[in-house]
């Protein structure tokens, strides 16, 4: 069965145009229904508001009349000038209330008669009220006669106001009946319109399901099968709508391309696995090379300072019987023990500080009063870990290149603290310092990948080991001026100490 001609025309339209037509029709229908409902509601509310305004104006006229009569009686009874002034103001309010009633409640012959009667009554009432006030002020004994007449006229005015209220209720009853009929008509019309909009919406759903949604569901099912790894999928038939047909053709082409790609990937998978294995081997070799390089750098430290230490012990032993020599040998043995226990390892900062103290103990015998040493260590940084032989080589450099050439000697100061999540190490001496060219040469040599002795074994060794261990997280700087000494600063990440494995602890006990 062929689809209707309208359906065939609809299928030829782009998907965007179809959506705009359908949803535009629904929005237009809802807008018309809403506008109709709002207009009808506004009219009903306007009629209702007008009725309430008329009732309010009539009731206010009644209240103003009662207020005026009460003020008149109180003045005539108490003869207070303030009550008279209030009465005069009340007369103006009474006339203003009457004018509002005349403007809003005059809707027919019956209401006109009652309003005219109220106007005439108010005029007569005020005339007699003024006569009573004038007679009382003149001291007449019969001033109560116009007062009684005024009260009698006020009673008639109240009856006229009551009649006007009844006329308004009767007229509004008819108006409310008309409004009730209009409301029922609006409710019926709105219900019919909602049913029509629902039918239109159902038609939209049916059309979309047949021409758009069904092909898309088939595409979604085929996509799910592809996601599960099934690539042997039959080609999807192109839909009637241009966009859906384009989507189906593109999906079929993608399916074919993916099958070809998977076949190519299978061929390349074995080659990639082989390359990956080679990369792992290269990484392991590079890591082993770095460890060997680190151990080699570490081994440079010990002979350098041990030579000076042994030379010092030899000199001391020539001038005494052995007591100081024993203390020096004990300090040297502590240095040996530290090296044997921690070759190329990280240690507690407190252990490194103890090493520096032992080293200074030896150097103080060598230099005597020419060497002054100051150590400031933040206790909160003691639990951090640093590579072994980091501070001692810097102190040794300060003594060897800064203090030793000076005949009067100098001071070496070491400051260690936590700063911004890092361990900050600062070694300062008051030695001979360096010229700018020499400082640039030392800095350049210390930061090279293959440091030489131009920068001093200790400084270059420390910097290179820190670069191997921490990469860019370690920071190094050096400042120096001729005759004012040198300052070396190092920042390394603050890493808390972790318990050593049992095997390493056993080795430490044996040492």
Question: Judging by DSSP bridges, how do beta strands 410-419 and 371-377 pair with one another?
Answer: parallel
Predicted confidence at residue 477, as pLDDT, reads 92
Fold that domain 304-510 belongs to in CATH = Heat Shock Protein 90 (3.30.565)
Q: What is the DSSP letter of 501?
A: P
| Band of residue 75 on the pLDDT scale cut at 50, 70, 90 | confident
pLDDT of 49 strictly over 70: yes
Give the model confidence (pLDDT) of 115-166 as tens digits. Answer: 888 888 888 888 888 888 888 888 777 778 888 888 888 888 888 888 888 8
Neighbouring C-alpha atoms within 13 Å toward the C-beta of 458: 20
Mean pLDDT of the chain: 76
Whether 501 has a pLDDT exceeding 50, the answer reads no
* Segment of 42-51, 222-231, 237-246, 476-485 carrying the highest mean pLDDT: 476-485
pLDDT at 422 over 70: yes
Q: What is the pTM of this model?
A: 0.40
- How does pLDDT run across 252-270, given as a tens digit for each residue? 777 777 777 777 777 787 7
What pLDDT, on the 0 to 100 scale, is given for residue 511? 34
422-429 β-sheet, strand order:
371-377, 410-419, 422-429, 485-493, 475-481
Would you say residue 414 has pLDDT above 90?
Answer: yes
Least confident of 223-227, 351-355, 442-446: 223-227
Is-contact 434 480, C-beta < 8 A?
A: yes
What is the percent of the chain with per-residue pLDDT over 70, rounded to a whole number? Answer: 73
Domain boundaries, the chain: 13-217, 304-510
Can you tell me the mean pLDDT for 192-205? 80
Confidence band, pLDDT 50/70/90 cuts, at residue 209: low
Strands 410-419, 485-493: pairing is: unpaired
Looking at the predicted structure, is the pLDDT value of residue 424 above 90? Answer: yes
CATH topology of domain 13-217: 1.20.120
Worst-scoring range by mean pLDDT, 80-94, 129-143, 221-235, 287-301?
Answer: 287-301
509: confidence class by pLDDT, cuts 50, 70, 90:
very low
pLDDT over 70 (residue 338): no
The model's pLDDT over 455-478, given as tens digits with 9 standing for 90+, comes to 445 788 888 888 888 888 889 899
The pLDDT assigned to 22 comes to 72
- Is residue 246 pLDDT above 60, yes or no? yes
8-state DSSP, 488: E
Q: What is the pLDDT of residue 410?
A: 93
Can you tell me the mean pLDDT for 414-440? 92
Q: In this predicted structure, what is the pLDDT of residue 55? A: 77
DSSP per-residue string spanning 418-473: EETTEEEEEEEE-S----HHHHHHHHHHHTSSS--GGG-HHHHHHHHHHHHHHGGG
Q: Mean of the pLDDT values across residues 395-411?
A: 90
């Amino acid at each position: 069965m062929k689809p209707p001609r309208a359906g065939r025309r609809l299928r030829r339209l782009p998907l965007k145009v179809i959506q705009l037509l359908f949803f535009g029709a629904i929005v237009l229908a809802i807008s018309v229904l809403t506008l109709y409902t709002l207009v009808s509601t506004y009219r009903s509310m306007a009629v209702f508001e007008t009725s309430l305004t008329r009732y309010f104006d009539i009731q206010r006229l009644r209240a103003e009349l009662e207020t005026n009569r009460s003020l008149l009686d109180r003045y005539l009874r108490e003869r207070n000038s303030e009550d008279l002034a209030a009465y005069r103001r009340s007369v103006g309010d009474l006339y203003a209330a009457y004018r509002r009633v005349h403007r809003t409640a005059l809707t027919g012959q019956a209401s006109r008669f009652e309003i005219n009667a109220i106007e005439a009554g108010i005029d007569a009432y005020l005339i007699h009220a003024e006569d009573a006030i004038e007679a009382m002020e003149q001291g007449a004994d019969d001033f109560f006669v116009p007062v009684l007449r005024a009260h009698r006229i006020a009673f008639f005015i109240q009856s006229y106001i009551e009649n006007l209220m009844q006329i308004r209720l009767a007229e509004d009853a008819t108006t409310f009946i008309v409004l009730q009929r209009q409301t029922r008509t609006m409710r019926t019309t709105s219900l019919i319109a909602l049913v029509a909009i629902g039918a239109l919406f159902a038609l939209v759903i049916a059309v979309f399901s047949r021409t758009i949604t069904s092909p898309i569901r088939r595409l979604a099912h085929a996509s799910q099968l592809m996601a599960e790894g099934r690539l042997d999928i039959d080609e999807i038939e192109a839909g009637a709508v241009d966009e859906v047909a384009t989507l189906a053709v593109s999906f079929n082409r993608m399916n074919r391309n993916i099958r070809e790609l998977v076949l190519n990937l299978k061929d390349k998978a074995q080659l990639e696995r082989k390359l990956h294995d080679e990369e792992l081997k290269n990484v392991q070799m590079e890591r082993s090379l770095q460890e060997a390089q680190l151990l080699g750098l570490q081994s440079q430290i010990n002979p350098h300072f041990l030579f000076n230490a042994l030379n010092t012990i030899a000199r001391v032993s020539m001038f005494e019987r052995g007591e100081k020599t024993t203390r020096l040998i004990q300090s040297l043995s502590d240095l040996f023990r530290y090296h044997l226990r921690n070759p190329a390892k990280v240690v507690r900062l407190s252990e490194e500080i103890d090493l520096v103290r032992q080293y200074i103990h030896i150097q103080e015998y060598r230099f005597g009063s020419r060497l002054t040493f100051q150590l400031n260590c933040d206790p909160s940084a003691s639990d951090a870990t640093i590579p072994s032989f980091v501070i001692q080589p810097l102190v040794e450099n300060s003594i060897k290149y800064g203090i030793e050439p000076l005949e009067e000697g100098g001071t070496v100061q070491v400051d260690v603290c936590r700063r911004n999540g890092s361990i900050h190490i600062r070694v300062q001496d008051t030695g001979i310092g360096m010229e700018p060219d020499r400082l640039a040469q030392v800095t350049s040599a210390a930061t090279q990948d293959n440091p030489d002795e131009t920068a001093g074994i200790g400084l270059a060794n420390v910097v290179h080991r820190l670069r191997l261990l921490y990469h860019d997280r370690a920071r190094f700087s050096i400042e120096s001026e001729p005759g004012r000494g040198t300052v070396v600063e190092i920042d390394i990440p603050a890493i808390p100490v972790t318990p050593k494995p049992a095997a390493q602890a056993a080795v430490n006990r044996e040492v």
